[in-house]
Amino acid sequence: MSQHRRRAPARKARQVRTRVVVVAAVAVTVAAGVGIGVWASGDGDRSGPTGAVTRQPSDGKSAPSAGASSRAATPSPTRSYPLSRTPRTIPAVAAHTPERGPGWRPRQGERVVVSDAELADEGQLVAGELGLTYAGQKSDTRDGDLRLVLNDDAGGDPESYTMTVRGGRVTIGGPADAGVFYGTRTLKQTVHGGGTAPEGVVKDAPAKPVRGFMLDIARKHYTAGWIEDRVRELGDLKFNELGLHFSDDQGFRIESRSHPEVVSDQHLTRAEVDRIIDLAAERHITVVPEIDSPGHLGAVIAAHPSLQLRNASGVAARGAVDISQDAAATIVDELLDEYAELFPGDRWNLGGDEYRALMASNPEASYPQLATAAREAYGTGGTVADLTTGWLNDRADTVRKHGKTMRVWNDGFFPGTSVQPAKDLQVAYWTGKEIGARQPVEYLSAGRDLVNYNDLFLYYVLGQPNQFWYPTGQRIYEQWTPRVVRGTQAVDAKYDDQILGGSFAVWGDYPNAQTQDQVAAGIRLPLRAVVQKLWDADKPSLTWAEFKSLADRLG
């Protein structure tokens, strides 16, 4: 922000000098009786229009020129401009209608105005970023204005927007503030590094409503400042979801009031989480918490060892609570209630994966207490898988009361059970490697919505255990789409609407394998490739080399 402000006066001075030169050239040419043709801008920005960037006076009056008659707002003969070029952004805009004109650049002292008080956050943010003046709600029009508006398209996609660059002004409008915000991200990228927003109309909207980044802060502690930096990065790229996996065997990383005894020494305070949530909300990012259960609860078990699941020989099942105990359900529900209040977003991840009891070859024989509880709850045919599904449904009941939409890892759904998972549970499909994992089509054909976490493309696992190689942006960009849910094969296009989107995930299996700064560097290009495919699943128009060059230029 400060860099924009420092540069603005120098740009302004250069622009004043340009106007003087152009005015003098016009006067000399007209006096000589020579017609005016195309004037080059000389700004060297090949991504924007190549016509002259000189603006006309906003009041429609002529501007005096020494030694010549005054210059009209519309010169005669009229200057011509080449057709504008589509702005290059990440993700790419869906459509751009080119026009002839000077385009737009931010200049110090010019205004950001809004049509509605609801757009104040968006207006203030972009004004600060571009070195403009936030003027609030205004109905008048000035040369150089950036105007943000809510249109009357009540049934439109709330994440869609239109950006019109015309006559030295920019208007960004959409059915809701989210779309308007995304329009400001397009503008910010377009003028990055002194670029020009090209004349014309951008019409844009995402292909997928879920564009996520998930961070495992349970195994590896990340500072609040680092997470806030990622929120800013995600917002500029038009991601709309940040997942926080904050409870696992290695740690419980957010301050708790209901059960402070389970919290790790290194953790985020509630005040830090509040700041992250507020920053995310300003950028239209929903923070999605996850307390995984009934497995991955080692940090809770460390404070309550009596809850640990043990087999018939007394051997502890790592990270698993004994779901035949009412006390296990009580503590998990108390934690769910606490954090459902802390996180105001409408989404939640229940986890549900890798419960050790169901990874045994004969769960009923290995864990007789679970088999007994299953028969008591569901009759003589009740199984440990039934009992585990019932646990999941009960936790869903707890979270549902808080108005959340919930998802469960795909290996938290079990085939052949008499107890069925609640119908409103979405599938977070990550792998086909686990025992009992099923093909994506089995969930889709049953009518479930799905979020794509394909572990072959979207899993960044620290230390690269179990053949989890660090994904590359190029591989995602060239081979992955939201319909590539498992492995490299896409599911049938008829399921496209049920695939809500996808999420890139960073897991901390070996937390010291990379520093948090190395993680940020390692995921930079993969994040950009992922959001390109979630915004537009079709084959990109740029080659990977061109896309990478654009990503490097935009920062």
List the catalytic residues.
354
Q: Are 384 and 357 in contact (CB under 8 A)?
A: yes
3-state SS assignment for residue 372: helix
Q: Using DSSP bridges, classify how beta strands 241-247 and 200-204 pair: parallel, antiparallel or unpaired.
A: unpaired
At 542, list the tokens: 């740029």
Encoded amino acid at 232, one letter? R
Q: Are 374 and 414 in contact (CB under 8 A)?
A: no
Cis peptide before 440 (omega within 30 of 0): no
Encoded amino acid at 475, one letter? R
Cα–Cα distance measured from residue 206 to residue 183, given in angstroms and rounded to the nearest whole number:
12
Nearest to 551 by CA among 542, 535, 470, 475: 542
Cα–Cα distance measured from residue 552 to residue 528, given in angstroms and rounded to the nearest whole number:
11
**DSSP-assigned letter for residue 257:** S
Q: Are 394 and 386 in contact (CB under 8 A)?
A: no
Q: Beta strands of 270-344 (E only): which ranges?
A: 286-293, 308-310, 316-321
- Spatial neighbors of 265 by CB under 8 A, at least 6 apart, are none
**DSSP-assigned letter for residue 55:** P
Cis peptide before 471 (omega within 30 of 0): no
Which helix (H) or strand (E) segment holds residue 307: the answer is none
Cα–Cα distance measured from residue 212 to residue 493, given in angstroms and rounded to the nearest whole number:
21
Cα–Cα distance measured from residue 427 to residue 504, given in angstroms and rounded to the nearest whole number:
15
How many helices (H) and strands (E) are present in the chain, helices listed first? 15, 22
When computed from its CA atoms, the radius of gyration of the chain, rounded to whole angstroms, is: 28
- Spatial neighbors of 155 by CB under 8 A, at least 6 apart, are 175
Q: Which residue shows structure tokens 């390692």?
A: 522
